[in-house]
Chain A
């Protein structure tokens, strides 16, 4: 009898496959069946690579039958944001325009590393156009939907990644994060997401957005799976100029070390403003569980967010300049108009934003002399309704889109590693950022693991699909 894989973690699937209690093909078929059953609601997949997945799974089963060693992700289904190159598919990056590109001739580095460890790619995932998005909405493919309430946003721009993992269609997805695009959907969809240190994971053969801010990383339903995927994908890569040459620093075996001795502080000032009560409650639960009584100020965080905005809009405009000239009507109009405006920001202001960035980085790094971890909201609110334009906070009406990423932007601006952990509030989950010093993903993941063990952080079953 086939083992039911619904709800199994990546580690459990890999163990069952390795122990011959489950075939990789059965695990793959189960994922394909879940996608067929639920993605009509979630709209998280834009491509289901069923034939490829079956072939990959059969190859793993053949290796096991031959007594060969298989990797730690043997038979684990996963999917990638559709800005990753998938051999044979045009890398659409959420756009209409890129569908005219030639099919990719080779997979992205991170897909190659996941599959070398035995994972099985089952498809590519919906996303906001060209990753310039926090909502998960897409005018070409329709919105990816929240697995806990399909009338709500998944968050973006890795919206399909959040929706597919939150909906338990796959245990692991890969996404990208320029200003918050892993952490925001993790928060809204109630799952764990890792934005590693800038330069840690290779971006080779993924469609860029803002070169100096782009990160790739995993999303998962538990910290063990998140760490395992992260460990699998580490390593230098000459095909990404920003990828570090530091040696691989595995974290999975460190999770059980716990958090004794770690100095945990909560971010004050800017990070305690413009938050809804649910974000306050989530921070309160996390800080209480971690016994975090210290508050630290990330000075000039508002200015950091402003500088990240300026760099994003101008670098993004530079990337798309020729497409804006030749095919302006094929963009999402909202993205197009933002990018055209970005092209018009005077160069000295961009240079000053980059110089401010170095100043701000130095100031924030000083904080890590006295603390190991900083806690901050991932989003100011739970997932808004699809199409929602404004929300009212402290009696003031504010635009939703512009404010979703206000707490993530000052952190990715200087490349710090962050784990977004889901706090399972009712009626909707919300995420909290666990922020560590550069290259200390291990610390952020240990804290996330501790919160998971205490029951403070958890990815709940997708209530919108029951």
Chain B
């Protein structure tokens, strides 16, 4: 499928890999949401962390 936005190729590939339906009518909203998620994820990614840092997937204190 030919698309103008490179993210559309990624959306198509991941949708296929996960067997997720993405109808054309939903695509602009899915893309917009993904752009926000990736922008915020990049903000986290840019932050340097020591290699030894443990994840906090279940947060306990």
Contacts and interface: CB of A to CB of B under 8 A. Distances in A.
B60 interface: yes
Interface string B1-21: 000000000110011001111
A352 interface: yes
Interface residues of B, number: 36
B57 A212 contact: yes
B20 A354 contact: no
Interface in B24-61: 26, 29-31, 33-34, 36-38, 40-45, 47, 49, 53-61
Contacts of B21: 324-325, 328
A354 B40 contact: no
Contacts of A349: 38, 41-42, 44-45
A337 B26 contact: yes
Contacts of A324: 20-21
B30 A354 contact: no
A354 B55 CA distance: 5
A354 B14 CA distance: 22
A340 B59 contact: no
A345 B37 contact: yes
Interface of B: 10-11, 14-15, 18-23, 26, 29-31, 33-34, 36-38, 40-45, 47, 49, 53-61
30 contacts: A197-B61, A242-B60, A306-B41, A309-B36, A310-B37, A321-B18, A324-B21, A325-B19, A333-B29, A337-B29, A340-B20, A340-B22, A340-B33, A341-B31, A341-B33, A343-B18, A344-B11, A345-B34, A349-B44, A349-B45, A350-B41, A352-B41, A354-B55, A354-B56, A354-B57, A355-B49, A355-B54, A356-B47, A357-B55, A358-B56
- Please provide the 10 A-B residue pairs with the shortest distance between their CB atoms, ordered closest to farther: A341-B33, A354-B55, A438-B61, A306-B40, A337-B29, A349-B41, A341-B34, A358-B56, A357-B56, A306-B43
